[in-house]
Amino acid sequence: MNLTRIRTLLALAITATAVSAAVVDLATGRLWTAVHVPWTVPGALAIVAAAILMAAWPVRQYVKGKRRRVDPIRAATTLVFAKACALSGAVLAGVYLGIALVSATVLHSPLAWTRLWQALAAFAAAAILAVAGRAAEWFCRLPPEDSGPEDSAVQPA
């Protein structure tokens, strides 16, 4: 499995920002309630970011030779979880940035300012999740194996 490209993460974030800003603008334009991001969202995203880094650290220690053994299933699961965190963090960062952009256009009350700060905090936490997922993917990289002629399946005659 290859590392998730930073270009891919940025494209996801930009697309999610545009879509969420359009949807939130349309929703608030039709006099529906404004989007409210709870304060628990940044905390939950930060906990997930810390969890993926903690899960990937033993794999990194094994790759560096500082640990004797790591369960291969756990290492593979950690890698998949890291990729999922990187991708979902990028999408969520875009969504929360879109909400913040729309919220910034209607700052007429203290409640509107609170909504803006909540969306910005969620954006920052989601961006941290994307970075933590990408870092955990990097922790799980294995060094390339040296394959000489004695390692190949077909020996030259």
- Tell me the per-residue pLDDT of 13-60, one tens digit each, with 9 for 90 and over: 999 999 999 998 888 776 666 778 899 999 999 999 999 999 999 989
* pLDDT above 90 (res 65): no
CB-based contacts of 40: which residues, under 8 Å, 6+ apart? none
Query: How far is it, in rounded angstroms, from Cα 13 to Cα 25?
Result: 18
Q: Which residues contact 80 (CB under 8 A, 6 or more apart)?
A: 1
Query: What percent of the chain has a predicted confidence (pLDDT) above 90?
Result: 55
Q: How far apart are the first and last CA of the chain?
A: 34
pTM of the model: 0.83
For residue 145, what pLDDT is reported?
61
The pLDDT confidence band at residue 152, using thresholds 50, 70 and 90, is very low
At position 50, the amino acid (one-letter code) is A
